[in-house]
């Protein structure tokens, strides 16, 4: 009789545990299904006013409308974007803190000896956009085209200089990749930001620079600078007469400034999927695409796996350029 009672008690205990586990799983599933239940914070790793900030705010507004909640943009600039990325990497993995970051995410680990977060602390959600750079010279520059610029650089080693908004910027690395592929001896002139660098190109104080499309398009169209080449594999519909680097002097040359969305590692799969699906749907909206295109930016929308693969390629490319150029952060 005692053995029967013990066996019965054990069965009841196991059954109770099973019910408790099922209830807990059901509660968790319900909680995830209800996501989001409160506002979401979208951390932008850069200061207000730039193109990344503008596009992030547009996406946040549209995502909020689809998710029936507020998606609040919070700018956390500094240290080339590492401050914002570190903040999100250390946030709770619940889907209520997301990161809107850009190309420096792939560059910084090769410039900073100690990063405030690990590469596995963030998981990709989607590649948002791609924007090429434009090689600009002053409006009446003696360089007729990119072939002329390259020929002059080869004929006069160390005499041609190029500007950038800082040693670790995409513009600097685009120029360095250009220099390395063509084995050119040129002098880098770093500035604290892109604006003063462009000004000195316009006045001829510096020979050329790779500049963002957001900054370059209006100047090229107004005739204040001249575009020699663009860094995308295809020509831009907005500047159809400007050839690509790839079709002129360096086959396969491709440099983009990308934007993308991340979440802390460990976010539940269904929550990450809901964020991803919402973001991709927003990127398909006609007026959103028009806004991106007006800025010279190509809207993308990818799977997390596609974004992860793209990040691997970017990491390898910039690691090699930085190592070969012995580039250090200013």
Q: What is the pLDDT of residues 257-269, one digit of tens each?
A: 999 999 999 999 9
Asked if the model's pLDDT at residue 253 lies above 70, the reply is: yes
CB 90 within 8 A of CB 265: no
The residue behind tokens 């570190």 is 86
Expressed in angstroms, the distance from the first to the final Cα of the chain is 82
Give the percent of the chain with pLDDT over 90.
85
Q: What is the pTM of this model?
A: 0.87
CB 86 within 8 A of CB 54: no
In words, the CATH class of domain 132-230 is alpha beta
Distance CA 42, CA 230 (A): 31
Q: Do 40-130+256-325 and 132-230 show the same overall fold?
A: yes
Q: Is 176 exposed, middle or buried (0-12, 13-18, 19+ CB in 10 A)?
A: buried
Pairing mode, strands 187-190 and 161-164: parallel
Q: Where are the domains of the chain?
A: 40-130+256-325, 132-230
In words, the CATH class of domain 40-130+256-325 is alpha beta
Distance CA 274, CA 60 (A): 14
Q: What are 229's two structure tokens?
A: 């080449």
Bridge partner residues of 99 (DSSP)? 43, 262
Given pLDDT bands bounded at 50, 70 and 90, which one contains residue 32? low
Q: What is the pLDDT of residues 134-153, one digit of tens each?
A: 999 999 999 999 999 999 99
Q: What is the pLDDT of residues 280-293, one digit of tens each?
A: 999 999 999 999 99
Q: Report pLDDT for 321.
A: 98
């Amino acid at each position: 009789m005692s053995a029967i009672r013990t066996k019965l008690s054990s069965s009841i205990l196991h059954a109770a545990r099973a019910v408790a586990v099922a209830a807990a799983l059901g509660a968790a599933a319900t909680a995830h299904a209800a996501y989001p239940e409160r506002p979401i914070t979208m951390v932008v790793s850069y200061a207000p006013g730039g193109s990344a900030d503008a596009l992030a705010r547009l996406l946040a507004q549209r995502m909020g409308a689809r998710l029936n909640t507020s998606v609040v943009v919070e700018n956390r600039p500094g240290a080339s974007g590492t401050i914002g990325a570190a903040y999100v990497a250390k946030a709770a993995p619940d889907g209520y803190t997301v990161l809107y970051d850009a190309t420096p995410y792939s560059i910084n680990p090769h410039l900073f000896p100690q990063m405030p977060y690990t590469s596995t602390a963030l998981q990709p959600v989607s590649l948002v956009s791609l924007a090429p750079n434009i090689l600009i010279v002053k409006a009446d520059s003696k360089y007729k085209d990119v072939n002329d610029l390259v020929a002059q650089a080869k004929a006069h080693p160390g005499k041609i200089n190029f500007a950038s908004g800082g040693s670790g910027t995409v513009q600097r690395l685009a120029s360095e990749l250009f220099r390395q592929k063509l084995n050119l001896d040129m002098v880098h002139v770093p500035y604290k930001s892109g604006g003063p660098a462009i000004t000195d190109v316009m006045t001829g104080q510096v020979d050329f620079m790779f500049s963002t499309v957001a900054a370059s398009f209006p100047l090229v169209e107004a005739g204040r600078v001249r575009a020699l080449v663009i860094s995308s594999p295809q020509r831009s519909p907005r500047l159809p007469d400007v050839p690509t680097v790839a079709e002129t002097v360096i086959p396969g040359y491709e440099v983009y400034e990308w934007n993308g969305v991340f979440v802390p590692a460990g976010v539940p799969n269904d929550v990450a999927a809901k964020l991803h699906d919402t973001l991709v749907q927003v990127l398909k909206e006609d007026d959103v695409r028009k806004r991106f295109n007006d800025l010279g930016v190509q809207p993308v929308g990818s799977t997390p796996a596609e974004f992860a693969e793209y990040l691997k390629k970017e990491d390898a490319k910039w690691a090699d350029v930085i190592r070969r150029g012995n580039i250090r952060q200013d």
